[in-house]
Chains A and B, each alone.
Chain A
Amino acid sequence: MSAPATAKAGGMAVLWLLLFVLWLILNSSLAVPILATGAIVSFAIAWIFARRSPVWQLSVTPRTAWHFLAYTGRFFIELVKANLNMLRYVYAPRIDIHPGIVKVHVRLKTPVGRLALANSIALTPGSLVMDLRDDAMFIHWLNVETTDPERATDLMVRPFERHLEAVFG
């Protein structure tokens, strides 16, 4: 897989920043030796990973940053909705659900994008990813509204995929 050079550099910058910030948080100190060690070690790790694994080859532009923020916001709204939904089922005098496993289509190609999508679906109202085969994702749905793959895709996958597609491709 030969990604464009910008994608490699962008992915590396993101990974470097991520690791460095994590290091700072864990140390909670701004002493120069600690800063220097963290910068060097996280740079080395980011360099190796961005070169050797296609996972970290992302291109970073203001547009992808905006989509990532939009995705995060959307995600938290869905998380709260999922919980309220679950409370309704749990405290109902009689649990009235029609669960089932439905198939949906995934357009995302990159592993990180798919991971993010699968994790998001697991935390949104009444759905849980069971398996991923080629471009089909199998989702356990607490209350099946439709068995048609296209409709199910529109309902569960689209809201996230729109933003994730712009970020991860």
Chain B
Amino acid sequence: MQLVGSIFILLGAFFLFSAGLGLLRMPDTFTRIQAGTKASTLGNILVLVGIGFYHPDWALKLLVVGYFVLMTNPLSSHALSRAAHARHVPMAPPTMVDALRDEDEARAREQASR
């Protein structure tokens, strides 16, 4: 039982480590946010599952924590990336398209021509 829990926690720690490494290695703000959000969500959940094996009586509370992480992690990443985009944080060179900027510029032109 404890062994299974330890394996889950180790796996979770590995994903969390990858999230950190992703933050360092990715080229710009947006890709970094992506790396941070995904790996840390699964990492967190795996650690929670692992704790659940150590303390089976906490299982339901851990489930609530897990749902909370699932709900709030994407929200915060969304807010961060939206703010970064609104402040014109530069995107890395291989970036191909920016439909949002195009839309903003089209709207600004429309207002200027009025």
Contact = CB atoms under 8 A, between A and B. Distances in A.
A90 B35 contact: yes
Interface in A20-45: 22, 25-26, 28
A91 B20 CA distance: 12
For the residues of A in contact with B, the DSSP-based class is mixed
Contacts of B21: 90-91
A25 B58 CA distance: 9
Interface residues of A, number: 38
A102 B97 contact: yes
For the residues of B in contact with A, the DSSP-based class is helix
Contacts of A87: 15, 18, 39
Interface residues of B, number: 44
A68 interface: no
Interface of B: 15, 18, 21-22, 25-28, 30-31, 33-35, 37-39, 41-42, 57, 60-61, 63-64, 70-71, 73-75, 77-78, 81-82, 85, 91-92, 94-101, 103
Interface of A: 22, 25-26, 28, 79-80, 82-83, 86-87, 89-91, 95, 97-103, 118-119, 122-123, 126-131, 133, 136, 138, 140, 142, 144, 147
